[in-house]
Amino acid sequence: MAAQTGRSISRYVRAWGGTAAVAYDLSGDATSVGTLGIEFESQDIKVLNSEVVGAMLGRPTFSLGPINSILTTGAAGVGTFDKQAILQGTLQTMLIAWGMREAPTYGSIAFMGQFHLKSLMGLDTDVTHSLSASYSPTTPAGLNYVNAWGRVTHPLAAETAANTGTTNVVDGGAATTAGGYLVYVLTSINAGTVAISIDDSADGTSYSALSGATSGALSAVGAGLVQLGTTATVRRYTRWQIALAGGASAVTFAIGFVRG
Beta strands in 19-108 (DSSP E): 23-25, 30-32, 37-40, 60-63, 67-70, 91-98
Residue 165: closest CA among 177, 152, 154: 154
Asked if residue 44 binds another protein (CB under 8 A), the reply is no
Is the distance from CB of 69 to CB of 31 less than 8 angstroms? Answer: yes
Window of 6-14, 23-31, 82-90, 130-138 that interacts with another protein by CB under 8 A: 6-14
Paired residues of 92 in beta bridges = 115
At CA 200, angle to CA 152 and CA 162, rounded to 5?
A: 75
Nearest-angstrom CA–CA distance, 144 and 184: 18
From 5-13, 79-87, 113-121, 188-196, give the range in contact with another protein by CB under 8 A. 5-13
CA distance linking residue 224 with residue 217, whole number of Å: 12
By CB under 8 A, residue 7 contacts another protein: yes
Integer Cα distance of 223 and 190 in angstroms = 16
Query: Of 9 and 157, which CB lies nearer to another protein in the complex structure?
Result: 9
Rank residues 5 and 43 by Cβ distance to another protein and give the closer one: 5
Among 1, 3, 5, 6, the residue binding another protein under the rule CB under 8 A is 6
**What gap in Å lies between CA 102 and CA 208, rounded to an integer?**
30
Residue 3 in the binding site for another protein (CB under 8 A): no
Query: Between 93 and 122, how does the x/- string for binding to another protein read (CB under 8 A)?
Result: --------x---------------------
Closest distance to another protein from the beta carbon of 9 (Å): 6
Closer CB to another protein, residue 15 or residue 100? 100
Options 1-9, 116-124, 156-164, 217-225: segment touching another protein (CB under 8 A): 1-9
Cα torsion at 159, 242, 33, 65 (round to 10°)?
150
Residue 157 near another protein by CB under 8 A: no
**Is residue 28 part of the contact set for another protein (CB under 8 A)?**
no
**For another protein, which stretch binds (CB under 8 A), given 3-11, 47-55, 57-65, 67-75?**
3-11
In whole angstroms, give the CA distance from residue 1 to residue 7.
18
Q: Which amino acid is at 16?
A: W
Q: How far is the CB of 30 from another protein (least distance, A)?
A: 18
Closer residue to another protein (CB): 8 or 166? 8
Nearer to another protein among residue 11 and residue 129 (C-beta): 11
Which residues in this chain contact another protein in the complex, by CB under 8 A?
Answer: 6-9, 11, 101
